[in-house]
Amino acid sequence: MPQTTISLDHPLDFARWRTATRTLAGQHVPPDDIAWHVAPSGGPDAPMPDAHPFRIPRETMQLAADVLQSMLPDRFTLAYRLVYAHVTGTDVPPAELARMEAAAAGVRAETARLRHGLFTLMQRTDGDGAWHATCDAATYAPECNARFITFQLSLAPWRLALPGRRMEWTGHELLHGHDGADASPLAFNSLPPPAMPLVDGLDIARITALPAVALAARTCRICPMARHATRTVFGEGRSDARMMFVGEQPGDREDLAGRPFVGPAGQLFDRALHAAGIDRDDAYVTNTVKHFKFRRSGTRRIHEKAGPAEIANCAPWLAAERRIIRPHVLVMLGGTAASALLGRPVTIGRERSRAITLGDGATGVVTVHPSFLLRVPDEAARGREYDHFVADLRLAASLCAPARA
């Protein structure tokens, strides 16, 4: 007979399952001694006793999360058994492991179908403009892809009818309910992670809301930089900005703050903007690459130049920023940004300080990155370079058309 009962708030309550699993597996409580019971508590997690800490490989936890998205009646026990076996150095019975792998394969397949067929599945209503669909799902994959759906549909309201249940994004919160019962809020972070990384299958070119692009970009783990950096540093500023500034990548300060151009180069950049008569609050500021690439030297993190692979991986995010904002003037700060946006090698000395007509009708201006000014050793030369940089910014400001109505 089970000696421990764990109550979960809903059939996909990964958050409480994980909290309980960390404690119980750390205490080596056998799977057969635990009963998992779905009964909404409406309250915070009950304190759990201390247990020995442990680490679980990412692949193991993802398999457990995939199993929890299946509709196997004993899925909570199976997922727990997977973690318990790793902690105790025991084996999962082959028959149970086969059931888990088969269930996970079904979840992955349904996740792929949902993502790749989302715009075929979803239809827009004439009344309130919300997206809606009926989905004959055999797993809980739709719930675990609610964040993907929300980002892909540009944060617009949507409704999804599922077998015996329904799900809705109101534009502000996610609601979930079973047929015949009122829907209640469902926290995104209480759900198991989807069987595919969030950006897999995401059609970034179809997202029309800048906040949706920014939120999606913060989940990106495509390149190794994303796994080492503290956070994604997306652009910031007005979504209708007439002037857009693009640098290379965030630095150490930006990585820690989660904002572009806030370190020493950013402070110099702000001073130069002021000297050129440009209000940063009226512009949009971003980087070609959204993560900090660095090497360690003791406790310091030393900037390393972004390579072609990292620039290519981040290109869809920069393209989305540019497409949504539609700047009249695009200022390229440094060779990396200029090469990425012009699609060819760029020598700053030959390209800077002139207007360049871009393919989308915007006007481009190439100049140095403000960090270059910090590296000029001679004070007199640094002053001349700073004045040249300010002159480039004034040129860019002079090329701006009147604000869009």
Per-residue pLDDT of the chain (405 residues), as tens digits, is: 668 999 999 999 999 999 999 999 999 999 999 999 998 655 555 555 556 778 899 999 999 999 999 999 999 999 999 999 999 999 999 999 999 999 999 999 999 999 999 999 999 876 678 999 999 999 999 999 999 999 999 999 999 999 999 999 999 999 999 888 889 999 999 999 999 999 999 999 999 999 999 999 988 877 777 667 888 999 999 999 999 999 999 999 999 999 999 999 999 999 999 999 999 999 999 999 999 888 888 888 888 888 898 899 999 999 999 999 999 999 999 999 999 999 999 999 999 999 999 999 999 999 999 999 999 999 999 999 999 999 999 999 999 866 554
Same domain, 89 and 184: no
Domain boundary among 113, 132, 165: 113
Residues 386, 242, single domain; the answer is yes
DSSP code string of 312-365? HHHHHHHHHHHHHH--SEEEEESHHHHHHHHTS---HHHHBSSEEE-TTS-EEE
Q: Is the same domain home to 359 and 270?
A: yes
Give a yes or no: residue 208 inside a domain: no
- Give the pLDDT confidence score for residue 401 in this predicted structure: 66
Residue 158 sits at φ, ψ, to 5 deg, of -150, 155
In this structure, are 373 and 240 located in the same domain? yes
pLDDT at 229: 80
Give pTM, 2 decimals: 0.89
Does residue 166 sit within a domain? yes
Same domain for 78 and 162? no
Nearest Cα neighbor of 142 from 220, 200, 214, 70 is 70
Q: Where are the alpha helices (DSSP H) in 153-278?
A: 210-217, 224-228, 252-257, 264-275
Q: What is the pLDDT, as a whole number, of residue 28?
A: 93
Q: What is the pLDDT of residue 298?
A: 84
CATH of the domain at 307: 3.40.470.10
Both tokens of residue 73?
Answer: 């009646």
Query: Residue 56: which domain range?
Result: 4-113
Q: How many domains does the chain have?
A: 3
What is the four-CA torsion angle of 89, 95, 98, 104, rounded to 10 degrees?
A: -80
Same domain, residue pair 99 and 172 = no
CATH number at residue 159: 3.30.1300
201: alpha, beta or left? (left if phi > 0; alpha if psi -120 to 50):
left
47 with 83, same domain? yes
DSSP reduced 3-state for 36: strand
Predicted confidence at residue 303, as pLDDT, reads 81
Q: Last residue of a domain, which of 113, 131, 147?
A: 113
pLDDT of residue 41: 57
Q: How far apart are CA 370 and CA 389, in angstroms?
A: 8
pLDDT of residue 48: 57
Q: What pLDDT was estimated at residue 219?
A: 87
* 229 and 352, same domain (yes or no): yes
C-alpha–C-alpha distance, residues 29 and 26, integer Å:
8
